[in-house]
A and B are shown apart, each in its own frame.
Chain A
Amino acid sequence: MPTHTYVPHAPGYVDNDGPKIVTSRFPHEDSYTLERSEATGGYDGLRAALAKKPSEVHDEVREATVLGRGGAGFPAGVKWGFMPPGKFPYYLVVNGDESEPGTYKDRLLMERDPHQLIEGCLITCYALGLAQCFLYVRGEMALAQERIAQALNDAYANGYVGKNILGTDFSVDITLTWGAGAYIVGEETALIESLEGNRGMPRLKPPYFPAAIGLYGQPTIVNNVETLANLPWLMLNGPSQYKTYGSDDSPGTRMVAVSGHLNRPGVYEIEQGVTTFRDLFYGDNFCQGIRDGHELKMFVPGGGSAPWFFPEQVDLPLEARPVGAAGSMLGSGAIMVMDETTDAVKAALRLVRFYARESCGKCTPCREGTTWEERVLQRILDGEGRPSDIDMLLDIADNISPGPYPNAAYPDEGLEAIPFPPKQTTICPLGPSSVAPITSTIRRFRHEYEAKITKRDSIPVTAAPVEGES
Chain B
Amino acid sequence: MSRFSDANVATAEEIISRYPVKKSALIPLLHLSQEQNGHVTDDAMRHIAELTDTTPAEVKGTGSFYEMFKFHPVGTYMVNVCTNLSCQLLGGEELLDHAEKSLGVKAGGTTADGMFTLEDVECIAACTEAPCLQVNYRYRHRITTDEFDQMIADLRNGGLDDIPSHGTLAQIRQTIPDGMGAGIVPPEQAREEPVWLARNRADDVPGSVAGGDDGVGS
Please list the residues of chain A having a beta carbon within 8 angstroms of any beta carbon in chain B. Answer: 11-12, 47, 50-56, 86, 88-89, 91, 98-104, 106-107, 126, 129-132, 138-143, 145-146, 149-150, 152-153, 156-157, 162-164, 166-173, 175-183, 194-201, 215-218, 257-261, 265-267, 300, 304, 334, 336, 338, 342, 346-347, 350-351, 354, 357-358, 360
Residues of B within 8 A of A194 (CB): 27
Known A132-B20, A163-B180, A180-B31; 19 more pairs at CB < 8 Å:
A52-B208, A89-B185, A98-B125, A104-B125, A129-B197, A131-B194, A132-B185, A139-B137, A140-B137, A146-B172, A150-B172, A170-B196, A175-B19, A180-B27, A197-B27, A201-B65, A265-B129, A304-B123, A346-B88
* Main secondary structure on A side of the interface with B: mixed
Instruction: Report how far A176 CA is from B122 CA in the complex, Å.
Output: 24
The reply to whether A169 and B86 form a contact with Cβ atoms under 8 Å apart is no
Please list the residues of chain B having a beta carbon within 8 angstroms of any beta carbon in chain A. Answer: 18-21, 23-28, 30-31, 52, 54, 58, 61-63, 65-69, 80, 83-86, 88-90, 122-130, 134, 136-139, 141, 169-177, 179-187, 189, 191-197, 199-200, 204-211, 214, 216-218
Residues of B within 8 A of A265 (CB): 127-130
The reply to whether A163 and B179 form a contact with Cβ atoms under 8 Å apart is yes
Chain A: CB-nearest residue to B138: A142
The reply to whether A86 and B18 form a contact with Cβ atoms under 8 Å apart is no
Residues of B within 8 A of A145 (CB): 169-170
Write the nearest CB–CB distance from B33 to chain A, whole angstroms: 12
Partner of A182, one of B30, B65, B85, B205: B65
Partner of B28, one of A50, A91, A102, A178: A178
Instruction: Report how far A13 CA is from B15 CA in the complex, Å.
Output: 34
Instruction: Report how far A142 CA is from B170 CA in the complex, Å.
Output: 5
Partner of A101, one of B85, B139, B172, B205: B85
Instruction: Report how far A199 CA is from B59 CA in the complex, Å.
Output: 10
Write the nearest CB–CB distance from B86 to chain A, whole angstroms: 4
The reply to whether B177 and A156 form a contact with Cβ atoms under 8 Å apart is yes
Instruction: Report how far A200 CA is from B139 CA in the complex, Å.
Output: 25
Chain A: CB-nearest residue to B199: A169
Chain B: CB-nearest residue to A103: B125
* Contacts known (A164-B218, A350-B83); A129 close to B123, Cβ less than 8 A: no
Write the nearest CB–CB distance from A184 to chain B, whole angstroms: 9
A103, A131, A217, A258 — most chain B CB neighbours (10 Å): A131
Write the nearest CB–CB distance from B191 to chain A, whole angstroms: 4
Instruction: Report how far A152 CA is from B180 CA in the complex, Å.
Output: 12
Q: List 11 A-B contacts (CB under 8 A).
A: A12-B129, A99-B123, A99-B125, A101-B86, A132-B185, A149-B173, A173-B184, A178-B27, A197-B25, A216-B187, A334-B127
A12, A342, A360 — most chain B CB neighbours (10 Å): A12
Residues of B within 8 A of A354 (CB): 84, 122-123
* Contacts known (A53-B207, A168-B208); A129 close to B65, Cβ less than 8 A: no
Residues of A within 8 A of B61 (CB): 199
Write the nearest CB–CB distance from B127 to chain A, whole angstroms: 4
Q: For the complex of A and B, list the 5 residue pairs with the smallest distance between their C-beta atoms, beginning with the closest.
A: A180-B66, A181-B67, A216-B187, A197-B23, A129-B197
Chain B: CB-nearest residue to A51: B208
The reply to whether B62 and A197 form a contact with Cβ atoms under 8 Å apart is yes
Residues of B within 8 A of A11 (CB): 126, 128-129, 139, 141
* Contacts known (A56-B206, A89-B185, A149-B173); A336 close to B66, Cβ less than 8 A: no
